Amino acid sequence: MFKPAERLATLPTPATIAMAARARELKAQGKPVISLALGQPDFPSPNAALEGAVAEVRAGHTGYPPIPGQKPLLEAIAAKFKRDNGLDVSLEQLMVCNGGKQAIFNAFMASLNEGDEVVVPAPYWVSYPLIARMFGGVPVEVPCREEDGFRPQAEAIRSAITPRTRWLVLNFPNNPTGAILERADLEAIAAVLRDAPHVMVMSDEIYEHLTFDGKAHLSLLNVAPDLAERVLIINGMSKAYAMTGWRVGFACGPVPLIKAMIKVQGNATSGICTLAQGGAAAALREDMAGVQAMRATYERRRGVVVGALQQITGLSCAMPQGAFYAYPGLSTLMGMYSAGGRLLKDDVAFAEALLEEAHIATVPGSAFGYGPHLRLSFAAADAELAEACERLKDFVAGIKG
Ligand X SMILES: Cc1ncc(COP(=O)(O)O)c(C=O)c1O
Phi-psi bin for 269: left (phi > 0), alpha (psi -120 to 50), beta? alpha
Q: Please, which residue, 227 or 276, has the CB nearer to ligand X?
A: 276
The H or E element containing residue 351 is helix 347-358
Residue 17: strand, helix, or coil: helix
Closer to ligand X by Cβ: residue 35 or 338? 35
- Categorise residue 270: left if φ over 0, alpha if ψ from -120 to 50, beta otherwise: left
Q: Indicate the angle between helix axes 47-58 and 274-285, nearest 10 degrees.
A: 130
Spatial contact of 284 and 52, defined as CB atoms under 8 Å apart: no
State the nearest-atom distance from the C-beta of 237 to ligand X, in Å: 7
Residue 96, helix vs strand vs coil: strand
C-beta of 22: minimal distance to ligand X in Å?
21
Write the Ramachandran bin of 213: left for phi over 0, alpha for psi from -120 to 50, otherwise beta. Answer: left
Identity of the residue, 101 or 230, whose beta carbon is nearer to ligand X in the bound complex: 101
**Torsion-angle region of 323 (φ positive above 0: left; ψ -120 to 50: alpha; else: beta):** left
Rounded least distance, CB 101 to ligand X, Å: 3
Name which of 117 and 204 has its Cβ closer to ligand X: 204
- A 10 A CB-CB count for 100 gives 24
DSSP 157-190: HHHH--TTEEEEEEESS-TTT-----HHHHHHHH
Least distance to ligand X from the beta carbon of 171, Å?
5
Q: How far is the CB of 141 from ligand X (least distance, A)?
A: 16
Quick check: 151 and 117 in contact, CB under 8 A? no
Nearest residue (beta carbon) to ligand X: 99
Is the CB of residue 176 less than 8 Å from the CB of residue 327? yes
Which CB sits closer to ligand X, 34 or 104? 104
- Judged by CB, which is closer to ligand X: 175, or 366? 175
Q: How far is the CB of 175 from ligand X (least distance, A)?
A: 4
DSSP-derived secondary structure letter, 206? T
Phi, psi dihedral angles at 150 (to 5 degrees) = 60, 25
Q: Which H/E stretch holds residue 214? A: none
Binding site for ligand X (CB under 6 A): 39, 99-101, 125, 171, 175, 204, 206, 236, 238, 244, 249
- Smallest gap from Cβ 398 to ligand X, in A, equals 32
Shortest separation between residue 96's beta carbon and ligand X, angstroms: 11
Q: Closer to ligand X by CB, 322 or 328: give it.
A: 322
Query: Nearer Cβ to ligand X, position 244 or 269?
Result: 244
CB of 70 to ligand X, least distance (A): 18
Ordered DSSP codes for 297-329: HHHHHHHHHHHHHHTSTT-B-----BTTEE--B
Q: Which is nearer to ligand X, 175 or 362 (CB)?
A: 175
CB of 228 to ligand X, least distance (A): 21
Query: Residue 168 forms beta bridges with which residues?
Result: 119, 201
Nearer to ligand X, 236 or 344 (CB): 236
DSSP state of 92: G
CA–CA distance, 398 with 313 (Å, rounded to integer): 11
